Structure 1
Amino acid sequence: MQRTHTLSKYAAAFAILILSLCSFWLTSCNGNGNNEEETALNDTSGIPALLERKGELAKAAEWQKTKEKVAELKERITQNPNDVKARLQLATIYMVEARVTANPYYYQATFKILDGVLDRDPNNFEAYTYKASVAMSLHRFADAKQLAEKAKSINPDNAYVYGVLVDANVELGDYQKAIQMSDTMQMLKPSLEAYSRASYLREIFGDYNGAKQAMALAVQAGGPGSESAEWARTTLGDLYLNTGNLDSAETLYKTTLQLRPNFTNAEMGLAKVEKARKHYDSSIKHTENAIRTISEVGYVAFLADVYELKGDNDKAKEIRKDVIDQLEEGEKNQLKGSVMQHNGNRELAQAYLATNDLDKALQYAQNDLKLRPNNIDANELIAWIYYLKGDYANAKMHADKMLATNTQNANTLYKAGVIYKHSGDVAKGDMLIQKATSVNKNIDQKVLLAAK
């Protein structure tokens, strides 16, 4: 599932996990049921099938070429089962399909293809690297790190694997190791991927100006209109959004939509800008535009938040209930034949938090934290849940950890300030709240409401 800060945004750019959320009020979902996907995954040919796209995605210019290329590669594999190059090409296509269609089927399909490569070439560098990327998408961060380390031992001079190691170490909370991996990546091959990782690490350590500079380099390194370049441009927009510059963020998002129409990151960027301006109808419109292309659970959860802020609490509750139902069902009914199961603890914690079911939210947040006790996002989530439960001692303990990297994220600082004030350290709390509003006066309205 693509993060609302679940998976680091830079990991997400190249290894996005998105769980399809097909709700009764959404008509544009991919709509592939488990039975169809399990049949496709366990295709008698030994090569998982390519699923037909649905809705707007089926109209994309590259879709026909994708189908033709997959057919060609499958034929090559049929003629020569030991054609490792064809298997790797097929895996990369399926990884792209996972990102484009938001269908997690393709992660399991990619694993199966890559296992076929490793059966024939046990030390294949690309296979281990791609498996590490998919493991990141499934939020199996320790597994991803182990697979990437194996790939690095085979070929220590390839920049791509260091990108995966940056992402895995960030998610596991080993930020100094992530910096080392990023520096090596930069040295081996300065690129959009390398600049974007450097940008995120600078953001994590509170250097927004440096983060913007590095992400601007990432934009320049990509071809205008390409998915990677427009991802970088919209992420640069997010950095301006998070520092209160709504106009600059809006300009970047609109530029992306001119160069790459219907790009969901840009639509959601505009939705966030309009939410910050309290233009809720416009925010809903942009969110629904994104959902029509990809029904990503983070987008749907955001939609519920905007409906609540607009005053339509019934609609917000309806959407949130459906989100939880779909997430719970997805975790219980993962595809038969899955090579690696998805870890959905954080998404479920956030979903239950949105419904104010704090006991369930805490349960899943604790599960998430056990897997990565030093991750600042995991600590922020559980700190806020403890605060809302009135357990200020535990909230403060995790607030200390969520500030460990000197983050300057305004919402994080504001939450920490509120927690410290209620824990008795009023001076520090006031200082953090003042710092938060100096970074970005547009503090998330849900945070403000919960803090009262």
Structure 2
Amino acid sequence: MRLLHAASLSLLLLLGAACRSSTSPASGPTTSEARALALAVPAGDGAVDREILRIQEGLRRTPTADDWVLLGQAWIRKARQAGDPGLYLSAEGSSVAALAMLPRHRGALGLRAMVLLNQHRFGAAREQALAILAQGPDDVPALAILSDAALEMGDVTVALDATQRLVDLKPGLASYGRAAHLRWIQGDVAGAKQLYARAIDAGRGARDPEPVAWMLVQAALIFWNGGDVDGALAGAHRALALVPRYAPALVLEARCRLARGEEAEAVRLLERAEAIQPLVETGWLLADARRRLGDESGAERTEARLLQQGRQSDPLTLGLFLASRGRDADAAEALRLVEAEHRARPGLLVEDAYAWALYRAGRLGEARAAIDRATAHGTPDPRLLYHAGAIRLAQGDADTGKALIQRALDLNPEFNPVESSEARALLGRSGREARRR
């Protein structure tokens, strides 16, 4: 079933290179340290906590590499649910313990690649996935990891090819969802919606509802970016019906409420989401919502907290936040943070953040090159289009700049609580005025 336009030769060449090279594991915990991390008692009493305890009990009696892998996979689910990246260390410990028993255990190698992916070590995850695929070209988990890692590294062609092979081998929620996202990146909104519908249908009746809830939110974001607030809100509500305290759905609903001028309800939803999963992006939106509500002191307190959190755990989002504030005092730190991320993972969204930080720093030529890379595939993302237009406007290309900004607003006139207003203001300025901004 051909769903994507991809060049299969790219993946074959990469696999050939992987066969000729060896992938050695990065330094990590010793086996005893790894076991201790993997056998840590989970904090909580949910289904995944009970599963972790059950697998741990079996491992203490009769340790096997397969069970270490199962334990690591459970720790990954726990880390995702809790929004706690520190828990990936327990998953990593599980992979080390498994590989100490069977050094070529494919499931353990795949677990290590998944840990690398979730730790945002995308280059290493990509190489690990390629090494697995060099031994078993039809390894479905490795193809999924390769698709995700390649996209984060900016290699859309490899991501497309890996995803097409994934769809061919195992059509279902995970493969259709990746295909849908790639279709959207390439500007095919109708195709993306169709594939998201397939993904959601494929996940119906699953024991764990979280993957379907995630897919519902991702599909709803297509509607959001296209300005269909009702459609986005419906998707968020469907996700919350499956997982009532699902932070991504709460955040999406809050965006919709803000777009409708319901600031108090947006603040309430974001406070709930932040209590469940305290992400920098959620704090950023909460600060904007509080400011729109007239709570300036609350917004400032939230921003102070997200500054501290971002420096510890999410330099990319913090860098984009600082660049978006437009304060001269923030420009150097914003660029430093985003430059480091760009060196490690030059994917499309990182290219956008890099372009915006360069723009704020006054380095317009480099900003233009970065935003051209970010928008090269025709992605219908209003924020990308706004950034592209503002950068061109600052360069003096008023006609193209204003056309791009208008397209962003045509897609979603409330795409961002702050930048939408900035976009409307820029449409009334000359290029010279935009440069002074």
TM bucket, shorter chain: 0.7 to 0.9
Equivalent pair of 2:331/2:361 in contact (CA under 8 Å): yes
Equivalent pair of 1:186/1:195 in contact (CA under 8 Å): yes
Cα deviation digits, residues 197-228 of structure 1 (max 9, x gap): 00111111111111111111111011258111
Which amino acid counterpart does residue 136 of structure 1 have in structure 2?
A: L
Q: How does 1:3-402 map to 2 (within 5 A)?
A: 42=33, 47-53=38-44, 58=45, 60=46, 62=47, 66-67=49-50, 69-81=51-63, 83-223=64-204, 226-328=209-311, 330=312, 344-353=314-323, 356=327, 357-373=330-346, 375-402=347-374
Task: Measure the CA separation in 2 of the matches of 1:52 and 1:212.
Answer: 38
Deviation at 1:46, TM superposition (A): 6.9
Which amino acid counterpart does residue 104 of structure 2 have in structure 1?
A: N
Task: Measure the CA separation in 1 of the matches of 2:38 and 2:358.
Answer: 47
Deviation at 1:42, TM superposition (A): 4.4
Cα deviation digits, residues 97-117 of structure 1 (max 9, x gap): 111112222201111110111
Task: Measure the CA separation in 2 of the matches of 1:403 and 1:294.
Answer: 30
Equivalent pair of 1:191/1:221 in contact (CA under 8 Å): yes
Task: Measure the CA separation in 1 of the matches of 2:323 and 2:409.
Answer: 24
Q: Which residue of 2 aligns with 1:443?
A: 415
Instruction: Please report the RMSD computed on the Cα atoms of aligned residues, expressed in angstroms.
Output: 2.2
Equivalent pair of 1:234/1:269 in contact (CA under 8 Å): yes
**TM-score of the superposed pair, with normalisation by structure 2:** 0.83
Return 5+ residue gaps in structure 1 as ranges. Answer: 1-37, 332-343
Cα deviation digits, residues 283-334 of structure 1 (max 9, x gap): 1111112223222332222211212233323222221111222333x36xxx
Deviation at 1:449, TM superposition (A): 4.2
- Quick one: structure 1 residues 43 and 411, their matched pair in 2 at CA, closer, same or farther if it must change by over 3 Å? closer
Determine what percentage of the aligned residue pairs are the same residue. 25
Q: Which residue of 1 aligns with 2:391?
A: 419
- Quick one: structure 1 residues 395 and 47, their matched pair in 2 at CA, closer, same or farther if it must change by over 3 Å? closer
- Quick one: structure 1 residues 150 and 439, their matched pair in 2 at CA, closer, same or farther if it must change by over 3 Å? same
Equivalent pair of 2:227/2:412 in contact (CA under 8 Å): yes
**TM-score of the superposed pair, with normalisation by structure 1:** 0.81
Which amino acid counterpart does residue 444 of structure 1 have in structure 2?
A: N
Deviation at 1:450, TM superposition (A): 4.2
Match of 1:445, SS state, is coil
Return 5+ residue gaps in structure 2 as ranges. Answer: 1-28, 426-437
Which amino acid counterpart does residue 352 of structure 2 have in structure 1?
A: E
Equivalent pair of 1:290/1:299 in contact (CA under 8 Å): yes
Deviation at 1:45, TM superposition (A): 5.3
Equivalent pair of 1:125/1:154 in contact (CA under 8 Å): no
Cα deviation digits, residues 348-386 of structure 1 (max 9, x gap): 31343355412101111111112234x221221122223
Aligned residues: 389
Higher helix share: 2
- Quick one: structure 1 residues 441 and 45, their matched pair in 2 at CA, closer, same or farther if it must change by over 3 Å? closer
- Quick one: structure 1 residues 194 and 298, their matched pair in 2 at CA, closer, same or farther if it must change by over 3 Å? same
Match of 1:166, SS state, is helix
